[in-house]
Structure 1
């Protein structure tokens, strides 16, 4: 399952993403966790050394393109590959738990989780680069990643509605919007659902930083049945934010139950590979028409193979 965690900055989406990933891994599920936020905090939340230097996806976009295009005859060079480019016959597909040169080089293993970060701004980027060009590395990986319903790809997204700067918001089987009991936070929920309503994006709300029944009622009055559950203020989370990341099973039982409910919700929703493929094709056409064709000097929509539908069956078939 590909899962996005979104919300207003400071709402706790990184905390929820890390708890989800750690709980799933502790239960034996294969897990990938990707930090796609400009503020890179997921590594620390997962218990990794926040000061360590890890490979970052945004600095290896050319390598990612060259590996994933494989022997696809419609993509003769990495320069003709956009962040939206879908796979086709001959493309290299990747699995959550598989070993291959690309994932082995760019992902770090920690407590049963394969972790990677997009990477934040560096000095050379300031004033001249768009962060979404870095996030394109994540979008491209998601387009070529085949996952099963008992595997989890957890992506900590950019804050608020920034996710809609590309089609990446459609790359997920389920989106969890973390919402505080404030007008600003529910405003992000309403904005996000407003943008997503035409794209069949399943969204559930997880309330966070809940103090009392009034907080729950406030959220319910604004988000209705989208409210999956809520997490109360947590001594466990406070300790983790101070650098003491304990076993995820030590999370308060009521809060742990919400994390479990989110996992069960995602699995119950299932995977729709036909929709995933169709949306990938639609956004690639849009990107090609808007800017890709002019840059490439070719019609990149010709890279789409309509009947090449992504799915687990393709991992059992060798690349052409």
Structure 2
């Protein structure tokens, strides 16, 4: 299961994504978390101190090795240098799993233990904007490694990838927004809070993207009525004030089971809704969307950058599917 958290800056999406990750871990669900926001705050929200979070190895810094690993023996890809963020897998490609180990996790994943009876997770980060990036790079180059990994990921129902996405509608600068089974859009009960929802709803309409709204910072019936009027049936659940979260943000998080029951119930509703989204998964459409965005990127900039026809990397006889999980030649190693 691949889950994204999106929303405007300050909406609380990182806090809610961290709570959802802790909820999954406490339920003993295998979970890999990725911080793909330009502001890298997921690590501290999951209990790392600032220095440890800043020292996490970034996916972007290991992109050449990631490409080389995923390329495998795919005959349609001449070299790792010819791979771009949208390059799809084909016969001979190495595929990633959420369980177990692989060279990507070895290089980039940090194991997190949440304490007795609270489970664990693995965390990866895109890496922050650096001084050398200023004025010469866009943040979408940072999340390219995430899109490439998701393109090569074969995941099942009872395992989760949770991605804290960059704020606003920037996710639509690539095909990454189509890589998820369900997107949780975190919205405050304000006009600005629901503006990103409207953008997502419009952009995602033609791509079958599952989208539900989590109302955050909801403090009364007026807030709830506002959200219901603005987002209608897309409103899944709301979250209010949390003393547990406030304690966590001060650096002294209590045990997770002490999270307030209304907020724990909200997380259970989110888990149930995410689990149901698996039934709508269409591997054929998923594979076709990869090819669609790869052709678009190849034509707009990829062919010129690499000097090759990158559309030729698309394997017309390959469909990513859960059937490949047990195929020994396709598994990451």
Q: TM-score range by the shorter chain?
A: over 0.9
Q: Deviations over 1:150-169 (max 9, x none)?
A: 11100000001011111100
In structure 1, the partner of 2:91 is: 89
In structure 2, the partner of 1:144 is: 152
Alpha-carbon offset, residue 114 of structure 1: 0.7
Q: Is the 8 A contact 2:76 2:315 kept in 1?
A: no
Q: Which moved more, 1:2-11 or 1:57-66?
A: 57-66
Q: Which moved more, 1:239-248 or 1:93-102?
A: 239-248
Alpha-carbon offset, residue 110 of structure 1: 0.5
In structure 2, the partner of 1:173 is: 181
Please identify runs of 4+ aligned residues in structure 1 that moved more than 6 A: none
Q: Deviations over 1:68-101 (max 9, x none)?
A: 1111111121111010001011111011122122
Q: Deviations over 1:82-125 (max 9, x none)?
A: 10001011111011122122211210000210101100111111
In structure 2, the partner of 1:69 is: 71
Pick aligned residue for 2:323 from 301, 313, 318: 313
Alpha-carbon offset, residue 309 of structure 1: 1.3
Structure 1, unaligned stretches of length 5 or more? Answer: none
CA distance in 2, matches of 1:296, 1:238: 49
CA distance in 2, matches of 1:221, 1:257: 23
Q: Is the 8 A contact 1:71 1:319 kept in 2?
A: no
CA distance in 2, matches of 1:243, 1:311: 42
Q: Is the 8 A contact 2:62 2:107 kept in 1?
A: no
Alpha-carbon offset, residue 319 of structure 1: 2.7
In structure 2, the partner of 1:284 is: 294
Instruction: Report the number of matched residues.
Output: 320
Rate the CA distance shift 1:306–1:245 in 2: closer, same or farther, 3 A. farther
CA distance in 1, matches of 2:210, 2:56: 32
CA distance in 2, matches of 1:266, 1:274: 20
Q: Deviations over 1:198-254 (max 9, x none)?
A: 111110000001110110000000000000000011111111111122332221111
Q: Secondary structure at the match of 2:217?
A: strand
Q: Secondary structure at the match of 1:305?
A: coil
CA distance in 2, matches of 1:58, 1:105: 11
Pick aligned residue for 2:218 from 210, 219, 230: 210
In structure 2, the partner of 1:255 is: 263
Pick aligned residue for 2:304 from 294, 309, 316: 294
CA distance in 1, matches of 2:228, 2:245: 24
Q: Is the 8 A contact 1:89 1:319 kept in 2?
A: no
The TM-score normalised by the length of structure 1 is 0.98
In structure 1, the partner of 2:16 is: 16
Q: Secondary structure at the match of 1:210?
A: coil
Q: How does 1:258-273 map to 2 (within 5 A)?
A: 258-270=266-278, 271-273=281-283
In structure 2, the partner of 1:164 is: 172
Alpha-carbon offset, residue 272 of structure 1: 2.3
CA distance in 2, matches of 1:243, 1:154: 23
Q: Is the 8 A contact 2:189 2:216 kept in 1?
A: yes
Structure 2, unaligned stretches of length 5 or more? Answer: 114-119
CA RMSD of aligned residues (A): 1.1
CA distance in 2, matches of 1:120, 1:275: 32
Q: Secondary structure at the match of 1:34?
A: strand
Q: How does 1:30-41 map to 2 (within 5 A)?
A: 30-41=30-41
In structure 2, the partner of 1:28 is: 28
CA distance in 2, matches of 1:255, 1:316: 37
Rate the CA distance shift 1:214–1:123 in 2: closer, same or farther, 3 A. same
Q: Secondary structure at the match of 1:214?
A: helix
Q: Is the 8 A contact 1:23 1:249 kept in 2?
A: no
In structure 1, the partner of 2:249 is: 241
CA distance in 2, matches of 1:275, 1:245: 42
